[in-house]
Amino acid sequence: MPTINTQRLMRLPPYLLGQLNETKLRLRQEGADVIDLGMGNPDQPTPQHIIDKLCEVVQDRKAHRYSASKGIPALLKAICRFYKNRFDVDLDSQTECIATIGSKEGLAHLMLALLDPGDLALVPNPTYPIHIYSVAMAGGNVVSIPLREEEEFVPDVEYITREIWPRPKIITLNFPHNPTTATVSLDFFEEIVRFAKDNQIMVIHDMAYADLTFDDYQAPSFLQVPGAKDVGVEFYTMSKSYNMAGWRLGFCVGNPDIIGALAKIKGYHDYGIFTPIQVAAISALDGPQDCVKRQAQIYQSRRDVLCDGLNRIGWPVKSPKASMFTWAPIPEPYREMGSIEFSRMLMQEAHVALLPGIGFGDLGEGYVRIAMVENEHRLRQAIRNIRRSLTQLKPDEKERIKLG
């Protein structure tokens, strides 16, 4: 058999999460109670009214046939109603909306539709890995936009493009941001739309954490800016807001030419999402939204427990305004270890799994991402385990008294 070493595969590094999962699995097989704060995998159940609708529709024998690659018309109309109610954005269900098998699939296929080999794409650094490697799989080249703590992890895109030739074709953004948890106002998107029009660049905005916001912060939609549909699209996922991660359903809305390009690629790749899942998603989007608000409240309470606890034991972290993560700088006494070794040490010694910042790009080095996907009791247990493991930390006075 010939060796499989295509250029496409060679451009993809080993998936860091997979390597860490092997260590976690080994420890658990040895009997360790590993508290997994690594993957952003929602732990709460899907709301019951959504499950009930799935169970109802799955009994219909016709629902088990091939579906529509773009999404069933009823779902596309529900998505448009949702965007109107949530963001006051008007969308055409036939030309400005498409269902995807989760945002990740949609992002990967969209890059195949929009990029030719050698095309440039602006991508923040650090960022969610699919934003980088979807470009690589399409044969494009990534130009990093540095996200730095001193700039609150918000990119200065105009400075970057003045230094680049040929002009990038795409800019991918993600706010609230994964992994840094950075947030922006509508003013930022107004600047992005102006920048995109001036430079003939398409905007791809990934809005996975739109509803997981805290302290009265509300995440704006890129499409709320007048003229945004002229230059770009926005992805939304059912995974986080409705705890439907395993259902694999998201959608992309906005510019009709970009939506059409994605639809053409998807038409050759898949037959769409299982119809009962799409009908259940209509119940989620059209139904009561109290479940979404409760979800945000759960994450806000977990954020308070996690951030307060880490600061008490001498690990300074900032409290995020959105997402399901905390982006934590490695404590000074351990910084020289690097994020991979630091994460490995915490998994082996504290039995707490985190994600190394380097997995999100080289500018993620020096940080770890902590997912708030365990209940408050388990988070407190994780903090106690970390405190016992990181002996060089300097806890505050009350914590010092507890330590004796």
Where is pLDDT greater, at 241 or 394?
A: 241
pLDDT the model gives residue 41? 92
Neighbours of 388 (CB within 10 A): 12
With pLDDT > 90 as the criterion, what percentage of the chain qualifies? 83
pLDDT the model gives residue 399? 52
Q: Is a pLDDT exceeding 70 seen at residue 243?
A: yes
pLDDT the model gives residue 299? 97
pLDDT the model gives residue 16? 67
Q: Is a pLDDT exceeding 90 seen at residue 300?
A: yes
Residues 259-275: what's their mean pLDDT?
95
Contact (Cβ atoms closer than 8 angstroms) between residue 18 and residue 24: no
pLDDT the model gives residue 25? 87
Banded model confidence at residue 392, pLDDT cuts 50, 70, 90: confident
**CA angle (289, 290, 293) in 5-degree steps:** 95
pLDDT the model gives residue 401? 39
Contact (Cβ atoms closer than 8 angstroms) between residue 145 and residue 123: yes
pLDDT digits 0-9 by tens, 47-100:
999 999 999 999 999 999 999 999 999 999 999 999 999 999 999 999 999 999
Q: Is a pLDDT exceeding 70 seen at residue 398?
A: no
pLDDT the model gives residue 24? 87
User: Quick one: fold of 48-286?
Assistant: Aspartate Aminotransferase; domain 2 (3.40.640)
Neighbours of 153 (CB within 10 A): 21
Q: Is a pLDDT exceeding 80 seen at residue 7?
A: yes
pLDDT the model gives residue 11? 84
pLDDT digits 0-9 by tens, 97-122:
999 999 999 999 999 999 999 999 99
pLDDT the model gives residue 402? 54
For every residue of 96-119, which 3-state class applies, written as one string?
CEEEECHHHHHHHHHHHHHCCCCC
Please name the residue that has the structure tokens 């600047």: 191
Banded model confidence at residue 403, pLDDT cuts 50, 70, 90: very low
pLDDT the model gives residue 404? 39
pLDDT digits 0-9 by tens, 305-354:
999 999 999 999 999 999 999 999 999 999 999 999 999 999 999 999 99
Banded model confidence at residue 162, pLDDT cuts 50, 70, 90: confident
Whole-structure pTM value: 0.93
β-sheet bridge partners, residue 142:
121
Contacts of 268 (CB under 8 A, 6+ apart): none
Residues 26-33: what's their mean pLDDT?
90
Banded model confidence at residue 287, pLDDT cuts 50, 70, 90: very high
Mean pLDDT of the chain: 93
Of 66, 99, 67, 54, the residue nearest 80 (C-alpha) = 99
pLDDT the model gives residue 373? 97
Where is pLDDT greater, at 153 or 204?
A: 204
The DSSP bridge pattern shows strands 352-353 and 35-36 to be: parallel
With pLDDT > 70 as the criterion, what percentage of the chain qualifies? 96
Could you give the CA distance from residue 162 to residue 189 in angstroms, rounded to a whole number?
19
CA–chain centroid gap for 204, Å, is 13
Where is pLDDT greater, at 105 or 24?
A: 105
The full set of domain ranges for the chain reads 7-45+290-399, 48-286
Could you give the CA distance from residue 208 to residue 42 in angstroms, rounded to a whole number?
12
* CATH for 7-45+290-399, options being 3.40.50.720, 1.10.3720.10, 1.20.120.1770, 3.90.1150.10: 3.90.1150.10
**Residue 250: in which H helix or E strand, if any?**
strand 250-254
Q: Is a pLDDT exceeding 70 seen at residue 170?
A: yes
Q: Which amino acid is at 330?
A: I
| Tokens (6 digits) for 289 | 């939204």
Question: Residue 163 burial by CB count (10 A; 0-12/13-18/19+): exposed, middle or buried?
Answer: exposed
| Tokens (6 digits) for 201 | 């660049």
